[in-house]
Amino acid sequence: MIPSRRESLMTVAELHRGAERQTVLLSVDFEDWHQLVRRRLGAPDWERPGPALPRQTESLLALLTKLDARATFFILGVSARAHPQLVEAIVAAGHEVACHGDAHRLVNRQTPQEFGEDLGAARSTIVALCGTAPLGFRAPAFSITREVDWAYQVLVEHGFGYDASQHDSPRIRDRVALASAAPHPLSLPNGGSLWEFPAAVWRPQRMRIPVGGASYWAVMPTSAVLNGLSRAGEFPGLYLHPHEFDPQPLNISLGSDAPLAQRTHGIVRAAQRNAARRRAPGVLREIAKRFRLIPYGEAYARLSDRAPARS
């Protein structure tokens, strides 16, 4: 079929834009901030759905639609089970669903068996809610560190095709030495194929400036974030969180019967997060003007020549 002139013009314009605009990978670590903070504070009912994730997700999905951007949502099992309708909304909006583990336990505090069980639980939840097995994984707090590189083998055994748990940030102790700042296949001792997609880091001279997360955007001028991303190599990765897009201030709402120390800690955590997240929507809008934002799975399919999803 011969395209109309209007269609041809659009295609040329898109090609032109694609050629000019660098591509950045967009992801969201989809977790319920209230669940995680309540667990840290020892609240017995921490698994119950927090009050803010629905409005955070709605606000984030609306912004992504406005920016014409699709993202990878690394879903946390315990949060997905508390908010199944939100996972459905994410899938319905055309975003990729990947895995952030089940209970947000750090990989470097687990045995291979525990990690496998956590992955299995998260994977089953995602398959039950989405009908598709996740291809990608991101460890909570980038916790696949040097001493737990067995984790990659466990990921392969559970059917994962790519990992996004490496972040060459000075704040992550014992981080894995990156073979490349760009996405690359990992060489695994027992075979199997797994690609690594590192988080965005700008490396002027010998410095390392993380530019992929909103907690860094909070303390950097937007121009530095944009400049850093343009120099962070091929397919730099962004990692965001729903709470960074909450239209209201975060509030732990523990109830007046909670112990004073718990309530105080909750107030401090909320204040820290509120300060760190303020600029996230504005900076993401500026990034979307300058870069093409795509989900990790799309880059993975392109690079590894594999189908973007398996069931």
Say which residues have a Cβ less than 8 Å from residue 311's Cβ, sequence separation at least 6.
127, 131, 132, 133
| Amino acid residing at 20 | E
Binding mask 25-54 for Zn ion (x = CB under 5 A): ----x-x-----------------------
Q: How far is the CB of 206 from Zn ion (least distance, A)?
A: 29
Token readout for 192 is: 């199997």
CA–CA distance, 242 with 183 (Å, rounded to integer): 25
Residue nearest to Zn ion (CB): 29
Nearer to Zn ion, 29 or 168 (CB): 29
- Contact segment (CB under 5 A) with Zn ion among 105-113, 134-142, 150-158, 266-274 equals 134-142
Tell me how far CA of residue 269 lies from CA of 162, 240, 288, 293, in angstroms: 32, 18, 29, 30
Site residues for Zn ion, window 256-275 (CB under 5 A)? Answer: none
Write down how long the chain is.
Answer: 311
CA–CA distance, 311 with 304 (Å, rounded to integer): 18
Nearer to Zn ion, 243 or 265 (CB): 243
- 102 forms part of the interface with Zn ion (CB under 5 A): no
Q: Which backbone phi and psi does 24 adopt, to 5 degrees?
A: -125, 140
CA–CA distance, 225 with 105 (Å, rounded to integer): 30
Nearer to Zn ion, 143 or 153 (CB): 143
Nearer to Zn ion, 258 or 284 (CB): 284
CA–CA distance, 60 with 39 (Å, rounded to integer): 24
Site residues for Zn ion, window 148-187 (CB under 5 A)? Answer: none
- 140 forms part of the interface with Zn ion (CB under 5 A): yes
Token readout for 25 is: 């990978």
Q: How far is the CB of 237 from Zn ion (least distance, A)?
A: 14
- 242 forms part of the interface with Zn ion (CB under 5 A): no
Q: How far is the CB of 60 from Zn ion (least distance, A)?
A: 15
- Contact segment (CB under 5 A) with Zn ion among 137-145, 179-187, 193-201, 203-211 equals 137-145
Q: Which backbone phi and psi does 310 adopt, to 5 degrees?
A: -130, 150
Nearer to Zn ion, 239 or 291 (CB): 239
E strand or H helix at 272: helix 260-277
Residues lying near Zn ion in the complex (CB under 5 A) are found at 29, 31, 140
